[in-house]
Amino acid sequence: MNSAILTVEKLSKQFFLHEQQAAIPSCAEVDLQVFPKELTAIVGPTGCGKSSVLKCIYRTYLPGAGRILYQNEAGHTTDLAQASDHRVLELRLRDIGFVTQFLHCLPRKPALDVVSEPLLLRGENRETARDAAADLLRLLNVPERLWQVPPATFSGGEKQRINLARGLISQPRLLLLDEPTASLDPDTSERVIDLLTTIKAKGVGMLAVFHHPELVRRLADRVVELIPQKTLCHE
Amino acid sequence: MRKVLQVSNLGKIHGNGCPRCVASTGPDVGSNICPHCQSVVANAAISFDLHAGEILGIMGESGSGKSTIVKMLFFDEDPSLGEAIFYDNGHQWNLFSLNAAQQRRLRNHRFGIVYQNPHLGLNFNFSAGGNIAERLLMSDLTHYGQIRERARDLLTRTEVGSERMDESPKKFSGGMQQRVQIAKALSTSPPVLFLDEVTTGLDLSVQARILDLILEIQQELGTAMIAVTHDLGVIRLLADRTIVMKNGRIIEAGLTDQILEDPQHAYTQQLVASAL
């Protein structure tokens, strides 16, 4: 039997804003699993903490309560809610990828370098990394004239594809996706869906936030529905 | 990942100090002046580690004690408390129990520093190349031709330009002076580099190119760095992990994206909310 690469148990997160003396609940008691070659979709209304679950797993947010068990290739399990910062950095480098709706990157780097950077950080040589980046950009239909330009001036859809390529290039075992097709035209969306299907078949486990029911229908093997928390409770 | 530096309970007290200094200062009381003996506790209880090839950011307002950390590690100032261990090629050096000669050796060979104020890092009576030569001479390279060759390479690499190697850095712009400092610091290929507010006071386009250069160096040479800054932008761009300081203490430490997106401490929340 296939064992889960990610098991989230009773994950809760709330923000405490000192200035306002307010606690803002985000997600509560979330349970979910991700398996290799499968995509688990998180659905639910806006503000129910879907993106927060992804960010807690990637540790951009500090999880409040619960366990986030990641199983690596050798079968060892790490609780990402408790792991050291260095351990999390190591996993980000090799095992866990995150594609957000927004692109955060060096403002002055050409798109090709932005995409190849994760491979460089892993010690690949520049040529190999650039070749792999070029392959992905071609696959995602990013016009070649843009490759040497920094993505700052790109359209939303172009940026999103750069972001996807950057997330996919390091071939993570676990891929976290936050609305990966949010600002893409139908043609490009199709390419992204094809690409995700291919990667999934190769063995990657994915956890994704989608807004379109159609994407869930086409890509998801499991669906987790989140219920909104009370929006604000003052202490 | 390999650990290169382990800092434990490091602290610096200016003044006579008393047994109550550390307990009576810090963010909880909002001051770093000891009410009992009037000593200034620049920092205390500073503990962190640094791994090979990573950039650790130290962030905090002026007077939070952040620069004093790198000055102690580079032996510019003597610590009052704590210890630091440097792991180098299988050796362990307990930094503050070394004798002066051993400390000088580490400064010249294994550590590099870039100061906010170029006057601290460079001798303005020497040429740009001469400044690099000075450091190389202290680290046992004595062949004139080789020294000049190495200086030329470094100044080209840091985009100062080899044609200006015989000019005094006195005539250079602030950004160029920082580049000469970086070239000098890198001349001995140190595994650890300390950056103390290196872009503060430079104009934005110059800042950007200096930061790009630092990142390129990190990727090419795998140099571990500690970057002290009050600038959130510098932290965001450079640091993998970040320490936040206030009143001489570490109030929060974590992955840089977590510190910026989910800050826990009231002061960090205020700092992140104030960013332009």
Rounded CA separation A162/A153 (Å): 12
Contact, B229 vs B242, CB < 8 A?
Answer: no
Residues in A touching B254 (Cβ below 8 Å): 62, 85
- Domain region containing A162: 102-171
Looking at residue A182, its pLDDT comes to 81
Over residues B61-115, the pLDDT tens digits come to: 888 999 999 999 999 999 999 999 999 989 999 999 999 999 999 999 999 999 9
Per-residue pLDDT of chain A (235 residues; tens, 9 = 90+): 469 999 999 999 999 999 999 999 999 999 999 999 999 999 988 888 999 999 999 999 999 999 999 999 999 999 999 999 999 999 999 999 999 877 766 678 899 999 998 998 888 888 999 999 999 999 888 999 999 999 988 888 888 889 999 999 988 999 999 988 887 888 888 988 999 999 999 999 999 998 888 999 999 999 999 988 754 433 3
SS3 A28: strand
On the question of pLDDT at B129 being above 80, the answer is yes
Question: What end-to-end distance do the CA atoms of chain B give, in Å?
Answer: 35
User: Is the domain of A165 the same as that of A179?
Assistant: no
Looking at residue B27, its pLDDT comes to 95
Give how far Cα A164 sits from Cα of A142, A168, A192, Å. Answer: 11, 6, 9
Which residue do the tokens 């949010």 mark? A182
Token pair in block for residue A90:
């190591």
Contacting B with CB below 8 Å, chain A residues are 15-19, 55, 59-62, 85-86, 88-90, 106-108, 120-121
Looking at residue B45, its pLDDT comes to 97
- Please give the tally of structural domains in chain A: 2
Chain A closest-CA separation from residue B38 CA (Å): 31
Rounded CA separation B208/A106 (Å): 10
Domains, chain B = 53-79+100-274 (3.40.50.300)
Contacting A with CB below 8 Å, chain B residues are 1, 51, 54, 208, 212, 215, 219, 237, 240-241, 253-255, 257-258, 261-262, 264-266, 269-270, 273
* Amino acid type, A101: Q
**Residue B54 CB contacts under 8 Å (≥ 6 apart), including other chains:** A89, B1, B224, B225, B240, B241
Contact B273 A19 (CB under 8 A): yes
Chain B closest-CA separation from residue A221 CA (Å): 30
Rounded CA separation B111/B154 (Å): 17
User: Is the domain of A70 the same as that of A185?
Assistant: yes
The distance of Cα B276 from the centroid of its chain, to the nearest Å, equals 25
Measure CB to CB from residue B270 to each of A19, A59, A107 and give the nearest one. A19
Picking from A171, A201, A221, the residue at the C-terminal end of a domain is A171
- Composition of chain A by helix, strand, coil, percent to 5: 35, 25, 40
Contact A106 B212 (CB under 8 A): yes
Give how far Cα A102 sits from Cα of A79, A88, A152, B187, Å. Answer: 27, 21, 11, 39
Contact A19 B269 (CB under 8 A): yes
Residues in B touching A107 (Cβ below 8 Å): 208
Looking at residue B276, its pLDDT comes to 64
Q: What angle do CA B181, B186, B187 make, to 5 degrees?
A: 100
User: Is the domain of A141 the same as that of A218?
Assistant: no
Which residue do the tokens 């790009």 mark? B212
Which one of A13, A18, A52, A176 makes the best mutation probe of the B interface by having the most chain B beta carbons within 10 Å? Answer: A18
User: Is the domain of A121 the same as that of A195?
Assistant: no
Token pair in block for residue B197:
């507010």
Chain A closest-CA separation from residue B79 CA (Å): 27
Measure CB to CB from residue A62 to each of B208, B240, B264 and give the nearest one. B264
Looking at residue B51, its pLDDT comes to 97
The distance of Cα B254 from the centroid of its chain, to the nearest Å, equals 19
Q: What angle do CA B18, B246, A26 make, to 5 degrees?
A: 135
Looking at residue B181, its pLDDT comes to 95
User: Which spans in B38-140 are helix H?
Assistant: 66-73, 100-109, 118-121, 128-138
User: Is the domain of A74 the same as that of A26?
Assistant: yes
User: Is the domain of A181 the same as that of A158?
Assistant: no
User: Is the domain of A31 the same as that of A75?
Assistant: yes
Which one of B218, B255, B269, B274 makes the best mutation probe of the A interface by having the most chain A beta carbons within 10 Å? Answer: B255
Picking from A125, A145, A171, the residue at the C-terminal end of a domain is A171
Rounded CA separation B132/B167 (Å): 12
Contact, A70 vs A45, CB < 8 A?
Answer: no
Looking at residue A235, its pLDDT comes to 34
Looking at residue A231, its pLDDT comes to 44
User: Is the domain of A86 the same as that of A179?
Assistant: yes
For a pLDDT cut of 90, what percent of chain B falls above it?
82
Rounded CA separation B218/B27 (Å): 33
Rounded CA separation A200/A39 (Å): 7
Chain B closest-CA separation from residue A101 CA (Å): 15
User: Is the domain of A77 the same as that of A184?
Assistant: yes
User: Is the domain of A211 the same as that of A235?
Assistant: yes
Rounded CA separation B98/B103 (Å): 6
Picking from A147, A171, A195, the residue at the C-terminal end of a domain is A171
Which residue do the tokens 């950007």 mark? B208
Contact, B103 vs B96, CB < 8 A?
Answer: no
Rounded CA separation A58/B255 (Å): 10
Contact A60 B254 (CB under 8 A): no
Instruction: Report ipTM (2 d.p.).
Output: 0.90
Over residues B225-259, the pLDDT tens digits come to: 999 999 999 999 999 999 999 999 999 999 999 99
User: Is the domain of A87 the same as that of A138?
Assistant: no
For a pLDDT cut of 70, what percent of chain B falls above it?
99
User: Is the domain of A166 the same as that of A153?
Assistant: yes
What residue of B is the nearest CA neighbor of A56?
A: B258
CATH number at residue A35: 3.40.50.300
